[in-house]
Amino acid sequence: MREDQRKFLSDKLGNLGNFAIGALVFGQFLSKESFALDVFALGILFCLTCYTLGYIILRGGE
């Protein structure tokens, strides 16, 4: 994968992580439903996974 492709994919994974935080974590506090710890934890885990994969791809898999 070329460097510009790695940068693009890494950026988009970061954006996906941000959307996960917004929807699954911050959405818990804006919802009228009761707080769901499993959804909150899933949002954090998904976000951290996206950020980590983006970092690994940006480094070139080294």
Q: pLDDT band for 46, please (50, 70, 90 cuts).
A: very high
Please give the model's pTM, rounded to 2 decimal places. 0.85
Longest alpha-carbon distance in the chain: 46
Contacts of 6 (CB under 8 A, 6+ apart): 57, 58, 60
Q: With contact defined as beta carbons under 8 Å apart, do 47 and 13 qualify? A: no
The pLDDT-based confidence of 1 (bands split at 50, 70, 90) is confident
Task: Report whether pLDDT(61) > 80.
Answer: no
- Please count the structural domains in the chain: 1
* Distance separating alpha carbons of residues 27 and 56, to the nearest angstrom: 28
| Domain membership of residue 37 as a residue range | 3-59
